Amino acid sequence: MSTSSPVPPAEGRAAPWWRRWADTPGTAVAVLAAGFLGLTEVAFSVPSGPDLSVGYAFLGLLLMLVALAAAAALVRRRRYPVAVCLGTAVAGALMPVGALAALIALPWVLATATLRIAAWCTAAVGAAVAASLVRDWRREGDAVMWATTDAATGERMYLTGGGYVAMGAAVLAVAVVVGLVRRFGDAARTARRAAAESEQQAATLRTQAAELRTELTRQEERELIAREMHDTVAHHLSLVSLHAAALEVTADDPGTDVTGSARSMRSSAHRALEEMRVLIASLRTAGDDSADRYAGPAPRLVDLVALIDEARSAGADIGATVFVDGGDDAPPALTRAVYRVVQESLTNAVKHAPGTRVEVDLRARPGDGVDVTVANGLVNDVPDGPGGAGLIGMRERAVALGGRFEAGPRDGRFVVRVHLPWPAATHP
């Protein structure tokens, strides 16, 4: 026979006060009923009369003590259901002390024990009930307990063998049904408690997940703001610095256009302030697209020409090769990333390698993707680390779009290479 995990006993749980008070009268009734039936069976089993021998008197006293002990054991039926059930069943099977105590303890076994133990206890109680009824069936005359006398005729009527079988099967079935109802009720309550605890844990996990998603969203927005601030404002400030450096060197030359250089510096500084103002203003607005909210509309690929010309006008030596096919249909996220990569690469070249020639090579086509290569000469030693915020921002943009990013010294030049996927347009 298969086994299953036992259901926790009822006494192991904290019952409400009204349940504990209700159990006390139930226990008292069970003890009194089992004791009364046990003493009754002892009385019908032991001969009585004035000629009763000492041996029978001692036997009767011993059986009454056993019957009372079996009844008293029901007080502990909740904590030790198997021991109480088997002990009372053995006593009822071997001695005429009744089987009611075993029948009362059996439901607690069925409610708490494994199926294997419950089956053995049921068989033991069945044997005790059968033994008690067989003893009564074999007695004669007034010694038969389950008999009645007709008040009119004085005739004594006895149960038949079938009646004893039916009565034994009925009381055993009642005990088994009560035990199974108790078992399934406890299992249902346990399942409801487990479901409630699981739901509470799930609600806690959902709350924590929502908090983590909110924090991740905030972190992503902070990183986006940092990239946009660095790529836009830093670029214009680098141009201002480049104009100032050129003006400082050539200010005394007769042919130097000081007014034009100052105008260019003012224009670059003004654009930097405008970019800063747009970013700060967008932080106070709401929207669904974080990129548009914090950085404004995405620049187009054709805007790269103005970006390169602006750097040239600031004095940078730039050689550019640009091939773009279908640039007007490029996704905004792609055009923004390409524009920022070229912008940051030019800013780094002007800042770290002033006076060197910068080569920009860009090739973009749907299906083939976008390949950007920016190379400039090396002036100072380049560290072996991961780079500054600009390189980190370019790497993050490439990874976010599923592309590749490489940057580092190569053959005496600092080379930035980026590949961004651009899926081919599909037509139905």
Each residue of 196-216: pLDDT tens digit? 898 888 888 888 888 888 888
Q: How confident is the model at residue 232 (pLDDT cuts 50, 70, 90)?
A: low
Where a domain ends, among 159, 179, 198? 159
**Which residues partner with 283 through β-bridges?**
none
Are 369 and 311 in contact, with CB atoms under 8 Å apart?
no
pLDDT digits (tens, 9 = 90+) for 252-293: 555 556 666 666 666 666 666 666 666 666 555 544 455 555
Q: Single out the residue of 397, 23, 427, 150 nearest to residue 418, CA to CA.
A: 397
pLDDT at 9: 46
Asked if residue 340 is part of any domain, the answer here is yes
pLDDT digits (tens, 9 = 90+) for 57-92: 788 889 889 989 998 888 888 888 999 999 999 998
Whether the per-residue pLDDT at 295 is higher than 90: the answer is: no
Asked if residue 233 is part of any domain, the answer here is no
Both structure tokens of 198? 């699981």
pLDDT digits (tens, 9 = 90+) for 77-134: 888 899 999 999 999 889 888 889 999 999 999 988 888 999 999 999 999 999 988 8
Q: What is the CATH number of the domain that holds 364?
A: 3.30.565.10
Longest dimension (CA), the chain: 154
Residue-number span of the structural domain to which 45 is assigned: 10-159
Are 100 and 34 in contact, with CB atoms under 8 Å apart?
yes
Both structure tokens of 195? 């479901």
Residues near 109 by Cβ (< 8 Å), separated by ≥ 6?
Answer: 81, 82, 85, 117, 118, 121, 122, 179
Asked if residue 350 is part of any domain, the answer here is yes
Find the range with the poorest average confidence among 4-8, 26-30, 236-240, 298-302: 4-8
Mean pLDDT of 285-310: 67
pLDDT at 10: 45
Where a domain ends, among 159, 180, 205? 159
Asked if residue 53 is part of any domain, the answer here is yes
Asked if residue 169 is part of any domain, the answer here is no
Q: Single out the residue of 42, 128, 120 nearest to residue 81, CA to CA.
A: 120
Percentages helix, strand, coil for the chain, rounded to the nearest 5? 65, 10, 25
Q: How many domains does the chain have?
A: 2
Distance between CA atoms of residues 258 and 364, nearest Å: 39
Mean pLDDT of 334-359: 85
Distance between CA atoms of residues 157 and 147, nearest Å: 6
Asked if residue 210 is part of any domain, the answer here is no
- The residue among 125 and 222 whose pLDDT is bigger is 125
Asked if residue 120 is part of any domain, the answer here is yes
Amino acid, single-letter form, for residue 27? T
Find the range with the poorest average confidence among 17-21, 302-306, 334-338: 17-21
Asked if residue 26 is part of any domain, the answer here is yes
pLDDT at 340: 84
Where a domain ends, among 142, 159, 176? 159
